[in-house]
C-alpha cells in the first residue's frame, strides 16, 4: 500500500484481503473517490484520520475489519461523522438522516492511531490472525480478488478477467504468497492508469515478450 504515496491522482483503490493495517499512505491520494478495504487487519477506526482530508472520497468498503467491532451502529455512525461526504458505506447508501444522527452517535476522530510495530504485508502470525487464515476459504479469496481486480480493469477500460482464468492460480500457494501476488497485481494495474499512450505501448510490448517466453518454456517442458 505504500505505493499509494506516489499516486496522488489515483481515483479507485481496491486492496481487499491483503493484510493491510495502516492507511497513512492513502492520505496523499487527493483524487481518490472509491476505496475498497474489506477483510484486512485495520484494528482502529482512528485510521480514518488519514481519510478525512480526501475531498472526493464517496465510496468506502471497510466491513470485516477488526475496527468494525461488535456494535454495527456505533461503527457506521463513527465512520459517517468523520467522512460525511460518503455516498455509500459498505455497499449501503448513506442517507441524510444517518448523517444527522452521526453527529450525535458517532465519535469524532481528531488524531491518528498510535504507531504499530507490525508492517503491512504478511505480519508475524498471531493466534487471531492464524484462526482467521484457517477459516478463510480459497473460494472467498478468489471471489474478493476477482471482483476487485475486475473493478480496476473496468476503470482502465480493460476487459474483465474470466473466473476460469483467474482461478487457475495454484491453490497450494500460501496465504502470504497469494497476498503478495495480489498486491503486485493491484500495484501494476493502478500504475497503468498513470501512463500515457507511449507508456502503455511499452508495457504491452514487454508483456507480450514475457508471455512468449512463458509459452516457449511450457513447450520445452512438454
Q: In the predicted model, what is the mean pLDDT of the chain?
A: 77
Is it the case that residue 146 has pLDDT exceeding 70? Answer: no
Question: Considering the entire predicted model, what is its pTM?
Answer: 0.58
Q: What is the pLDDT of residues 52-81, one digit of tens each?
A: 999 999 999 999 999 999 999 999 999 999
Q: Contact, 107 vs 81, CB < 8 A?
A: yes
Per-residue pLDDT reduced to its tens digit, 22-47: 999 999 899 999 999 999 999 999 99
| φ/ψ (deg, to 5) at 61 | -120, 105
Domains present along the chain, CATH in parentheses: 2-105 (3.80.10.10)
pLDDT band at 212 (very low <50, low <70, confident <90, very high): confident
Lowest mean pLDDT among 66-70, 88-92, 159-163, 169-173: 169-173
Average pLDDT for 189-215: 76
Amino acid at each position: 500500500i505504500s505505493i499509494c504515496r506516489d499516486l496522488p491522482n489515483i481515483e479507485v483503490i481496491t486492496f481487499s484481503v491483503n493484510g493491510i493495517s495502516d492507511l497513512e499512505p492513502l492520505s496523499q491520494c487527493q483524487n481518490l473517490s472509491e476505496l475498497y478495504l474489506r477483510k484486512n487487519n485495520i484494528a482502529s477506526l482512528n485510521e480514518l484520520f488519514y481519510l478525512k482530508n480526501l475531498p472526493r472520497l464517496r465510496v468506502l468498503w471497510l466491513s470485516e475489519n477488526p475496527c468494525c467491532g461488535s456494535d454495527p451502529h456505533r461503527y457506521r455512525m463513527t465512520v459517517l461523522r468523520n467522512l460525511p461526504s460518503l455516498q455509500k458505506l459498505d455497499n449501503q447508501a448513506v442517507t441524510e438522516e444517518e448523517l444527522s444522527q452521526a453527529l450525535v452517535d458517532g465519535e469524532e476522530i481528531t488524531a491518528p492511531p498510535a504507531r504499530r510495530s507490525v508492517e503491512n504485508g504478511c505480519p508475524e502470525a498471531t493466534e487471531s490472525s492464524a484462526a482467521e487464515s484457517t477459516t478463510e476459504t480459497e473460494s472467498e479469496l478468489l471471489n474478493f480478488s476477482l471482483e476487485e481486480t475486475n473493478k480496476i480493469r473496468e476503470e482502465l477500460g480493460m476487459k474483465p478477467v474470466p473466473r476460469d482464468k483467474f482461478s487457475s492460480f495454484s491453490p497450494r500457494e500460501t496465504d502470504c504468497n497469494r497476498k503478495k501476488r495480489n498486491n503486485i497485481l493491484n500495484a501494476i494495474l493502478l500504475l497503468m492508469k498513470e501512463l500515457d499512450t507511449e507508456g502503455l505501448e511499452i508495457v504491452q510490448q514487454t508483456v507480450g515478450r514475457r508471455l512468449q517466453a512463458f509459452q516457449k518454456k511450457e513447450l520445452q517442458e512438454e
